Amino acid sequence: MAVRGNVAAHGSAGESDAMVDERSHEPADETETVPLFREDLIGLDGIQDLSEPFLIRRSGNELSLFELRGRREWLIGRARDAQIIANDAEVSRHHAKLMFANGALTVEDLGSRNGTLVNGHALRSATVRIGPGDIVVIGECQLIVATQAGRVWGSRSSTVNPSNANATEHQVDIVLADPEMARVYASVRKVARMMTTVLILGETGSGKDVLAQQLHQWSPRADKPLVRVNCAGIPETLLESELFGYERGAFTGADRRKAGYFEAAQGGTIFLDEIGELSATAQVKLLNVLENRALTRLGGTSPIPVDVRVVCATHRDLQAFVGSERFRADLYYRISPFMVRVPPLRDRLAEICLLAEIFVNKLASQVGGPPPTIAPDAITMLMAYPWPGNVRELRNAVEHAFVMADGATLRCEHFPSEIQSGAALPPSRPPMSRIRQRVNEVERKTIEEAIAAEGGNQTRAAARLGISRRTLVYKLAQYRRED
C-alpha cells in the first residue's frame, strides 16, 4: 500500500471491553505508569507539543500514515474493532492503546501476550509517554511517531536583500520521524532561547536552511528579521561590503552609504550559509564582529554596535579546512560553541516516504485533482536509494515522477533513471580492495541464505542476522546495482 493519509475509521476504541486483551484477561486499569525512559534514549523533551502528530505504520513493505489529531484513543491489535490493525499471529486482539490528549501521546500495553516494544524496551501492562522518533513495535508491525516540528517559510534566493529580509517563497512542512532528526530539533529548540552561536553541519540539501529558520522561529527574536546570506553566492570582492555595509565614497561607485546584512539583521538573526566559502579577509572581519559585537562599515571609522544572533551552516568538513589553513582556527572555535549535524536523508528512512507524500500532495494541489499514490515497490526503491542530493533531490525526483505518471500512481519507471538503477555513488569512491571484495561476497551469501531460510521474509531475515531491516534493504539494493 502506498503512503496515504488514511485514517482507519471502523469500530470504536472507547468501550471498556476494548481495553482488555481476551487472551491475557488482564484489565487495563491494572496497568502502572513506568518512568519515562524515552528522555534518556532520545532526549526529546524539547519537542513535547505534538500539534500535528502522525503515526507511520510499517509492516513489511506496507506503509500507512495515520493522523492522530481528532481522535483521543487508538486501539491497536488484530481485532476488527481496532483502529490500527496489526494482523500477525504475534499480536493479541486488543494489544495496545495509544492515547492522545492535551498534546501528549502515550502508549499502553493492554496485557498483550507478547508485549509491546518501545524503542527496544519491553512494555507489559504499562503506559509510557512517547514522542517524535519513538518506535513502537507490535509483532511485525512498526509504528513510528512523527510530527511536523513546525512550518517555516522557505526562500530559495541565494542572498537576501536587506531591504526585503523576510522574503518568502513557499511554505515548508517540517517532518520529524527519525529519532536522530528529532534529537537535532530538540537540541536546537533548547539552544534557540539563548544567544549562543550555532553551527549547522550536514550534506547539501539535507535541510540545514530549514533547521536554521526553525531555530529563528523558536528564538525570542522570532518577530525580528532573519537575514539569510549564502556566502558562496556573493563574489569575494563584494562580500565584505554586502555583509558589513559601506560609507559614501568608500570605493568607486559608492555614491551613498549602505547598511550591510548584519545591520539589516539588528535585533534578529543572521544565517551565514556556506560559511566555509568565506575569503580570508572576510573571515578576519567576521571574527572581529563576533568578538566585539560591533562592526565598522567599509570606509567608516566609528564602530556600530550589533545585536545579532549568528547561525552558520556548511556542508564542508570545517575541521579539515582548519587543518589545511583554509579556515581560521580562531573563527572556527568562535562559531562552533554549539554544533548540530543534520543526518543525511538516506539515514532518515521513515522520513523518505513522508516527505515524498508531502511533495506529491503539494504538486497535486498545484494542478488540482486528487493526489496520486506512490506504489509500494516505488517506496521501497526510494528507501534503498542513497540520496546524495538529500531532500532537494527527493523533491525533484518526486516532481519528475509526478509529471511522468500524469495523474496515475507513481511507479518505479516514472522516477529518474539514476534512482531506478540506484547508481548514485559518492564521487570519490575508492576502488574496492580484494579483502573488502571477499568480505562483501561472504556478507551477500549470508544475507541471501538468511532470506531463503525465512521464506523470503526480509523482516525475519534481518532479525535472524541481527541487523535492521533497513540495512538489509539497503544491502539488497546495493547487490542489485552490482549485478
Binding residues for ligand ATP, rule: CB under 6 A, are 154, 172-175, 202, 204-210, 273, 315, 355, 391-392, 395
Q: How far is the CB of 480 from ligand ATP (least distance, A)?
A: 27
Bridge-based pairing of strands 226-230 and 338-342 is unpaired
Q: How far is the CB of 207 from ligand ATP (least distance, A)?
A: 3
Buried b (16+ CB within 10 A) or exposed e, 55-73: bbbbbbeebbbbebeebeb
Q: How far is the CB of 323 from ligand ATP (least distance, A)?
A: 22
The residue (of 115 and 371) whose beta carbon lies closer to ligand ATP is: 371
The residue (of 202 and 260) whose beta carbon lies closer to ligand ATP is: 202
The residue (of 115 and 205) whose beta carbon lies closer to ligand ATP is: 205
The residue (of 64 and 148) whose beta carbon lies closer to ligand ATP is: 148
* Nearest partner of 375 among 351, 394, 398, judged by Cα: 398
The residue (of 239 and 391) whose beta carbon lies closer to ligand ATP is: 391
Q: How far is the CB of 406 from ligand ATP (least distance, A)?
A: 24
Q: How far apart, in whole angstroms, are the C-alpha atoms of residue 253 and residue 268? A: 30
Q: How far is the CB of 38 from ligand ATP (least distance, A)?
A: 22
Q: How far apart, in whole angstroms, are the C-alpha atoms of residue 148 and residue 176? A: 6
Q: How far is the CB of 156 from ligand ATP (least distance, A)?
A: 7
**Residue whose C-alpha cell reads 564521487 in the numeric block:** 427
DSSP-based three-state secondary structure for 304? strand
C-alpha cell at 238: 563584494
Q: How far apart, in whole angstroms, are the C-alpha atoms of residue 210 and residue 170? A: 12
Q: How far is the CB of 159 from ligand ATP (least distance, A)?
A: 12
Q: How far is the CB of 407 from ligand ATP (least distance, A)?
A: 23
* Nearest partner of 124 among 108, 137, 106, 144, judged by Cα: 108
Q: How far apart, in whole angstroms, are the C-alpha atoms of residue 366 and residue 408? A: 16
Residue 44 sits at the vertex; the CA angle it makes with 48 and 31, to the nearest 5 degrees, is 75
The residue (of 152 and 282) whose beta carbon lies closer to ligand ATP is: 152
Q: At what angle do helices 390-405 and 349-367 cross, to 10 degrees?
A: 50
Q: How far apart, in whole angstroms, are the C-alpha atoms of residue 205 and residue 183? A: 19
C-alpha cell at 239: 562580500
Q: How far apart, in whole angstroms, are the C-alpha atoms of residue 271 and residue 228? A: 5
DSSP states of 119-136: TTEEE-SEEEEE-TT-EE
The residue (of 172 and 462) whose beta carbon lies closer to ligand ATP is: 172
The residue (of 281 and 365) whose beta carbon lies closer to ligand ATP is: 365
